[in-house]
Amino acid sequence: MTPEEQLALLYQKFPEVNEQQREQFAALWELYTDWNSKINVISRKDIDNLYMHHVLHSLGVTKMLHFTAGSHVIDVGTGGGFPGIPLAILFPEVQFTLVDSIGKKVRVAQSVADSLGLQNVTTHHIRIEELREKCDFVVTRATMLLGELVKLTRHLFSREGHNALPNGIIALKGGNLEGECTAYKNRVIVEDLYPFFSDEYFREKRVLYLPMQ
């Protein structure tokens, strides 16, 4: 599937995006392919699937929640900016803090945000346990097991909530999550991304929510 065909699927799923947002999504292709020629931000075997496997997957967070304007979201282990950059495009009135312990990947995320003119993105080259900010939600894409994520981020959550769900963790994950969710089985919510996204890639992809207030 070509990048243009992948983009068409994205716009079909999110018809509310305006012209500026479409331009920003379209610009991701050149930005990430250029960076990927210098730094292995995305697997070089997978860069052709940028929109399907990375951008659209990042937007799978919306299967669980659409963030309210004025919310603050921290992307833990953002790498080159996923899921934070696509979400920041989709939610321009939400503040996103992108955090990673690998400096060169943080520089990519900041460069992409700057190139797109995203005023709602800040980045930090720091270990998440050292970050001293308060947020409504932590988002992440397959960075670590849920128990470890809870331990390292519990200090980040604001007591005040602004959204339809209480403040907490929203994680994009794949495969069987039963083992890592056992300790939180009475609180955790897991939603399949397929057929919300109809491509076969998403058949084993899930989005997980755990309240932390």
Chain mean pLDDT for the chain: 95
Q: Is residue 16 part of a domain?
A: no
Whether residue 213 has pLDDT greater than 80: no
Instruction: Give, in degrees to the nearest 5, the angle at Cα 151 between 178 and 80.
Output: 85
- In this prediction, residue 40 carries a pLDDT of 87
- In this prediction, residue 45 carries a pLDDT of 84
Q: How confident is the model at residue 13 (pLDDT cuts 50, 70, 90)?
A: very high
- In this prediction, residue 179 carries a pLDDT of 85
Q: Is 129 annotated as a binding residue?
A: yes
Q: Is 161 annotated as a binding residue?
A: no
Instruction: Identify whether the C-beta of residue 143 lies closer than 8 Å to the C-beta of residue 76.
Output: yes
How far apart CA 184 and CA 154 sit, in angstroms, is: 14
Q: Identify the residue whose tokens are 């520089």.
A: 107
Whether residue 20 has pLDDT greater than 90: yes
Q: Is 168 annotated as a binding residue?
A: no
Q: Is residue 95 part of a domain?
A: yes
What is the CATH number for 122? 3.40.50.150
3-class DSSP state of 154:
helix
Q: Is residue 22 part of a domain?
A: no
68-121 tens-digit pLDDT? 999 999 999 999 999 999 999 999 999 999 999 999 999 999 999 999 999 999
The token duo for 206 is 């899930």
Q: How confident is the model at residue 185 (pLDDT cuts 50, 70, 90)?
A: confident
- In this prediction, residue 125 carries a pLDDT of 97
Q: Is 154 annotated as a binding residue?
A: no
Q: Is residue 39 part of a domain?
A: no
Whether residue 169 has pLDDT greater than 90: yes
Q: Is residue 188 part of a domain?
A: yes
106-159 tens-digit pLDDT? 999 999 999 999 999 999 999 999 999 999 999 999 778 999 999 999 999 999
Q: Is residue 171 part of a domain?
A: yes
Q: Is residue 43 part of a domain?
A: no
Of 79, 191, 94, 185, nearest to 140 by C-alpha is 79
201-211 tens-digit pLDDT? 999 999 999 99
**Half-sphere exposure of residue 86: CA atoms within 13 angstroms, side-chain side:** 28
Structural domain that includes position 66: 60-211
- In this prediction, residue 176 carries a pLDDT of 84
Q: Is 77 annotated as a binding residue?
A: yes
Q: What is the 3-state secondary structure (H, E, C) of 67-101?
A: CCCCCEEEEECCCCCCCHHHHHHHCCCCEEEEEEC
Q: Is the dihedral of CA 41, 42, 48, 54 positive or negative?
A: negative
Backbone angles phi, psi at 112, to 5 degrees: -65, -45
Mean pLDDT of 58-76: 98
Q: Is residue 20 part of a domain?
A: no
Of 159, 149, 165, 141, nearest to 65 by C-alpha is 165
Count the domains in the chain. 1
